[in-house]
Amino acid sequence: MSEQTKAIRRPAEHRYAAELARLEADDAASPRPAGWRLSPRAVRKFLLGDAKLNITRKFYGDDPLADRAIVSLMSQQGLMLVGEPGTAKSLLSELLAAAVCGTSALVVQGSAGTTEDHIRYGWNYALLLAEGPSERALVPSPVLNAMRSGRIVRFEEITRCPPEVQDALISILSEKALALPELGPDAVAMAAPGFNVIATANLRDRGVHEISSALKRRFNFETVHPISDPDFERELVLKQLAERLEPAGVLVRGERDVADLLVRTFQDLRTGRTAEGVNLNRPDAVMSTAEAVNVLHAAALEAAYLDDGRLSGVHVARQIQGVVLKDSPEDGKRLRAYIDHIVKERAGRSGVWKEFYSAARSLKLG
Amino acid sequence: MDAPVLHDPARDLWIVPIRHHSPACAAQLECLLAAVAPTAILIEGPLDFEPLIKQICDPRTRAPVAVVALRDMEKGGGARRVVSYFPFCNHSPELIALQTAAARGIPAHFIDLPSTDPAMISGNEDAGDRSLLGDEKPFSVGDYVTALARELGCRDGNEVWDQLFEARIAEADWARFFADVGQYCACIRGAVSAATMEHDGTLAREAQMRALVARHRAAIEGPIVVLVGGFHAPALIAPAHGAVVEPKAGAGRCYLVRYGMRQLDALAGYGAGLALPGFYERLWQARGTGGGSLALELITGFAAHLRGTNMAAPSLPVILNAVEQAERLASLRGRPFPTRDDVIDAVRSSFIKDEIPLGEVPLLAQLRIWLCGSTIGDVPPSAGSPPLVEAVRERARSLGFTIADGERRTRELDIYRKPRHREASRFCHALALIGSGFAQRTAGPDFRNDAGLDRLHEIWSVCWSPQVETRLIELSEVADTLMEALATVLVEKLAGLAELGRGCSALAAIDLYAAACRAGLGETADAALDAVERHVLDDPGLASLIAALTDLVLLRRSRDILDIAGTATLDRIMAATWRRILTLLPELAWIGEDQLRPAIAAMADLRGLIELARSSAAPLDLGLFDEALARLGEAELDPMLAGAVTAFALTGGLIAPAALDQRLRSELASGYVDPADRLAFLGGVIAIARELLWTTPVIITALNDVVAGASEADFVALLPHLRLALMPLDPRETDRLANEIADLIGADPHRLAVMVDIPEADLAANLALERELQAILAMDGLA
């Protein structure tokens, strides 16, 4: 067993190796941008699915966005994916990189500790001291690697880096070249065709930095929104729940009704308005689809291991406070108001809502 | 599903399926007509519009234009006016067909039911302005279109249509193009039930079309082209049954009018046509180049438009990126050139360097407005616009209003200093009152409420739209000038007040009359005068009459600035209202207890009115008021009302302060069961003239005597009511009164505002009492 297949989570190019191979075989004659492994249409099929080639859909909710993202990667501009946490920005970036250049592994993880070296290059100091600056002593960053090999580099959470570090990307994106002055006055790494950057960013979270206008101009922005269709979100949540539970051999019952309750609750709180048109106070906490899957997963595990295996509103009620009570103490009051007015009303009409209500009422929400 | 036959060789009929306003259909139709060389063209359009074909094809006609049909419908016992439109734009296949027929000298005929036929409006009788082109909803909703969109990777029915058909605007094979349109529309029709088509009039219309096709086929030799919405094409192959429904003489009227791009927009709610028509207009213009330069033109055009707004304009690299983005999106999506959604997507990706919140961002909203367009077409003088329309247009032009497009503009009018601006203001008021939707006042002095009189300018938001002309056409049957129209509308609205439940409201009637005066109606309002007077004479409410008369006095006071020429009419209504008030005044003696407070409030307003009339020299016979008041005073009155009447009499100098003193003392010392009643008289006095408290010392003296002579228990009982009676006083007046009293009793005025500490024990006792009270209230469910 290789190192990759043992990992908790394998990168997209391994998970979907068979699909990528099928697409590549089918796509051999199609024109493609220089340096791309697949044609833009095949990349689209990889993201959005194709029944004929048995390609599964991996990105949901906004097909035109996938088109725009693919086309942006063909241009001189980088691609900036922005939006609330949990809207599958990183997944989209990983899938795009895997499909376009065959690897999603060239990643810079943005954080407060990211330095310019992570974007440009560093040194193997033992070799540097022994031999002086040389190609052998140079430790290229994922960005430099991607430039040299004509591939896509992913920059995760770019707004977590200080702006001066982010700005190291400006000249790389506009010149498509990186000077290596230590190796000689003319030493320059030129980007091979196919090089581009996909950055993901959260512009509204706490503890993020601004992006300079100069850097913004070098990107095309795409906003990834939470899924707005409740039926569709429910199916997606159920699908991802099954993906998590099946490998562990966990079986639960009644998950459809509970998923419906959960998705409706999340949609109501996320938009600040119920399906019936009642306005609510929106919690500050992120109520993403990914969080919904986490809640349902935790609820399912509780039902399976600590209960009789029937997933109910009670389990969701116990887990939901962990999602809502993260950011602001006010959120507890907002959830309380939602439970007291909206959930209570629905409890009179449906069993699962009744369970949810009776369990949620006893939560300590501040 | 098989495609319907395009050519029926047995009858030499070409049944051409189209979508209204589709540039690709129009371009392919040009090719078809050139190849087929028909001897006649039949078009899906109301039969009674035939006389207008000549005007539509007039070289001076510039699209967009529309035939507007007016007809009266009987509904629920009353008649209702229905207005509907049949619009043409440059890229309407129907317009191309009509123009080709005119150029070739072959006949062109409309073959649909007359616009007055019930089937033409069934389905949504209650809608307002509507389109006669038929419902295009099936192109955007329904399982078939949704499934097709999913299959093609399109977001909606509109993108499907663009991808399947608009992208083929320059395709050489017109026969294949129309076969495909036919097939697509036949599939959409397949998803609609026969019952729906029966209900919405589709089947009746198709029967008419078949019958008229048969009639023309019999009369004309050679190939005939029949141009119908793709939805109806499959039904036209069948042989005709039944007779032709002929237009009824005098059933309705139709005119060719200027129309606007904004109204053509399907998103604007008129139901027919493609969304964002400005895009299709440009596609039509670019048909010669096969759409190749369309994205470049649109994106640079929009960037240039942004430079003229206060939004940040994109730099050249951004524009280039957007054009490239649009081209590549089209190529990825398998289109020969970028269509509407590709261009919108490209602008979205390239122009906006930020997160886009759910909903819409200003830049994209601006793009939609720009892609919609604001052009308004023109019709030849022979289109015979009614005199009213011509007169108003002429007047608008001469006053400097732009009527060549449908943009909303802001106009600031300096009404005090510039006579021309005053005229423009009256014009706006007039068009607002007749309900044309042309002008809306957003700021300015309010002569009616006596507010904002220090504002020098009036600000209007104005927008000339086809609806303005349509409203004028409607009114043109009864009026040739704007003033006549205004008078008619005024009479109609006065008559309509009864339906609104304000049948005898002087205030509502005078509101309307004052609006008409502001619009410059002047002496022409005589026709409405009787109706206004009738409302005044029927109004049983003193409050409404007083408010109405106040309005009139204010209006008269502003007569110069409002350019109200003669005041004879105004004076006549004022006199009538005043008489009515004086007639009703003595009747106050018999009002019920529940009416008492509103009556006192009305009397307070009446005092304001009298002072206003005095200060503005309004021609009211104020002497009559004293008589009416005396008549009221003779009756046995409730103490509060008596107080009010006494206060009036005192301020008018009809009685001496001594009379007030005597009455007040007797009231205060009276033996009413409820102590509140002892102070009701004083309450009435204060409501009408609270300045009497300090101008007429007898009141305070009387009060002081009563309070000084009262026992502790009596004083405690009286205290809350005394406070209530003095409630109308503002803090400054309270201070003044307190000082007067201090003077009277020789107290030090500086000691009046003292904080009296409550002993700890009292506080605790009070708090305990409050808790007890709350517990009792909670027990009763009142907490």
| pLDDT single digits (tens) A76-85 | 999 999 988 8
| Cβ distance of B332 and A222 shorter than 8 Å | no
Which residue among A67, A77, A216 places its CB closest to the CB of B332?
A: A67
The pLDDT value recorded for residue B458 is 86
Do the Cβ atoms of B328 and A74 come within 8 Å? yes
* In chain A, where the domains are located: 3-223, 230-361
- The pLDDT of residue B225 is 93
Q: How many residues does chain A have?
A: 366
**Ranges in chain B, pLDDT < 50:** 77, 126-127, 270
Of A41, A72, A204, the CB nearest to B325: A72
Pairing relation of β-strands A196-201 and A152-156? parallel
Q: Is A91 within 8 Å of chain B by CB?
A: no
Q: Are A217 and B353 in contact (CB under 8 A)?
A: yes
Q: Is B320 helix (H, G, I), strand (E, B) or coil?
A: helix
Distances (CA, A) of A351 to A261, A314, B116: 11, 11, 55
Going by C-alpha positions, the residue among B176, B183, B184, B178 that lies closest to residue B160 is: B184
CB nearest B332 (choices: A41, A217, A222): A41
10 Å Cβ neighbour count for B734? Answer: 12
Select from A323, A294, A114, A291 the least CA-distant residue to A199: A114
Residue B271 vs residues B22, B85, B86, B128, B274: alpha-carbon distances, Å: 15, 11, 12, 12, 9
CB contact under 8 A, A67 and B350: no
Residue B87: per-residue pLDDT: 87
Question: Are B438 and B403 in contact, with CB atoms under 8 Å apart?
Answer: no
* Chain B nearest-CA residue for A48: B153
Best to test chain B binding among A44, A46, A68, A212 (most B CBs inside 10 Å): A68
Between CA B375 and CA B381, with CA B376 as vertex, the angle to 5 degrees is 145
The tokens describing B205, both together, are 């219309």
Q: Are B213 and B42 in contact (CB under 8 A)?
A: yes
Residues B552, B573 contacting (CB under 8 angstroms) = yes
Q: Which residue from A70, A88, A321 is spatially nearest to A227, judged by alpha carbons?
A: A88
CB B225 within 8 A of CB B14: yes
Distance CA B293, CA B760 (A): 89
Torsion of CA B710, B716, B718, B724, to 10 degrees: 140
Please report the pLDDT score of residue B597 as a whole number: 86
The arithmetic mean of pLDDT across residues A242-247, rounded, is 85
Instruction: From chain A, pick out residues whose CB is under 8 angstroms from the CB of B354.
Output: 82, 203, 216, 221
Q: Does A216 contact chain B (CB < 8 Å)?
A: yes
The CATH number of the domain covering residues in A3-223: 3.40.50.300
Give the C-alpha separation, B2 to B184, whole Å.
Answer: 10
Q: What residues contact residue A246 under an 8 Å CB cut-off, 6+ apart?
A: none
In which order are the strands placed within the sheet that holds B439-443? B409-413, B458-462, B439-443
* Interface check B356 vs A, CB under 8 A: yes
Are B349 and A68 inside 8 Å of each other by CB?
yes
Q: Rounded to an integer, what distance in angstroms lies between the CA atom of residue B64 and that of residue B263?
A: 10
Q: By C-alpha distance, which of B66, B69, B46, B45 is closest to B55?
A: B66
CA distance B242 to B211: 7
Tell me how far apart the alpha carbons of residues A166 and A210 are, in angstroms, rounded to a whole number: 10
H or E element: which one contains B680? helix B675-688
Give the angle subtended at the CA of B656 by the CAs of B650 and B662, to the nearest 5°: 100
The residues, ordered by sequence, that sit 6+ positions from B422 with a Cβ below 8 Å of its Cβ are B413, B415, B561, B563
Confidence label for A340 from pLDDT (cuts 50, 70 and 90): confident
Q: How far is Cα B483 from Cα B411, in angstroms, rounded to an integer?
A: 22
Residue with the two structure tokens 């070289």? B59
Chain B residues whose CB is inside 8 A of the A74 CB are 328
3-state class (DSSP) for residue B265: coil
List all residues of chain A from 97 to 156 with a beta carbon under 8 Å from chain B. Answer: none
Burial of residue B626, with CB atoms counted within 10 A of its CB: 0-12 exposed, 13-18 middle, 19 or more buried: middle
CB contact under 8 A, A75 and B332: no
Burial class from Cβ neighbours inside 10 Å (0-12, 13-18, 19+) for residue B11 reads: middle
If contacts are CB pairs under 8 Å, which of residues 697-716 in chain B contact chain A? none
| Beta-bridge partner residues of B462 | B409, B439
Q: A221 and B356 in contact by Cβ < 8 A?
A: yes
Cα angle vertex B126, ends B125, B127, to 5°? 95
Cβ pair B349:A213 closer than 8 A: no
Is the Cβ pair A220, B350 closer than 8 Å? yes
Of B338, B317, B335, whose CA–CA distance to B327 is shortest? B338
Chain A interface test: which of B154, B349, B352, B360 (most A C-beta within 10 Å): B349
How far is residue B45's CA from residue B113's CA, in Å, rounded to a whole number? 8
Q: Does A170 touch chain B (CB under 8 A)?
A: no
Question: What's the pLDDT score for residue A324?
Answer: 78
- Inter-chain contact A221–B349, Cβ cutoff 8 Å? yes
| B146 C-beta neighbours (distance < 10 Å), count | 14
**What would the two tokens of residue A182 be?**
């230590």
- Is a pLDDT exceeding 50 seen at residue A1? no
| Of the partner residues A41, A213, A225, the one whose CB lies closest to the CB of residue B358 | A225
What is the b/e burial string over A11-48, where b = at least 16 CB atoms within 10 angstroms of the residue's CB?
A: bbbbbbeebbebbeebbeeeebbebbbbbbbbbbbbbb
Give the gap in angstroms from C-alpha B350 to the nearest C-alpha of chain A: 5
Record: contact B355-A71, CB cut-off 8 A: no
Q: What CA–CA distance (Å, rounded) separates B545 from A120?
A: 84
B459 - beta bridge partners? B412, B443
List of chain A residues whose C-beta atoms are within 8 Å of the C-beta of residue B357: 223
Which of B325, B332, B345 shows the shortest C-beta gap to A44?
B332
Mutation for testing the A interface, residue in B150, B320, B329, B332 having most A CBs under 10 Å: B332
Q: pLDDT value at position B75?
A: 54
The answer to whether B202 and B195 are in contact (CB under 8 A) is no
- Closest-CA distance of chain A to residue B315, Å: 10
* A40, A222, A225 member nearest B349 (Cβ): A222
3-state secondary structure A162-210: CHHHHCHHHHHHHHCEEECHHHCCCCEEECCCCCEEEEEECCCCCCCCC
Q: Given the DSSP bridges, would you call strands B7-8 and B252-258 parallel, antiparallel or unpaired?
A: unpaired
Q: How confident is the model over A71-123, as pLDDT tens digits?
A: 999 999 999 999 888 788 888 999 999 999 999 999 999 998 999 999 999 99
Q: Give the residues across from A221 on adjacent strands.
A: A80
B-chain residue closest to A39, CA distance: B332
**Secondary structure (3-state) at B539:** coil
How confident is the model at residue B678, as a pLDDT? Answer: 80
Could you tell me how many CB contacts below 8 A there are between chain A and chain B? 69
Mutate which of A220, A267, A271, A287 to test chain B, going by most B C-beta atoms within 10 A? A220
pLDDT of residue B81: 64
Q: Do A40 and B328 touch (CB under 8 A)?
A: yes
More confident residue, A275 or A205: A275
pTM as predicted: 0.72
Q: Shortest Cα distance from A222 to chain B (angstroms)?
A: 6
CB-based contact, A203 to chain B, within 8 Å? yes
Per-residue confidence (pLDDT) for residue A107, from 0 to 100:
94
A72 within 8 A of A79, measured Cβ to Cβ: yes
Helical ranges in B566-674 per DSSP H = 568-584, 596-615, 623-634, 639-651, 657-668
| Burial of B543 from C-beta contacts in 10 A (0-12 / 13-18 / 19+) | middle
Q: B350 CB near a chain A CB, below 8 Å?
A: yes
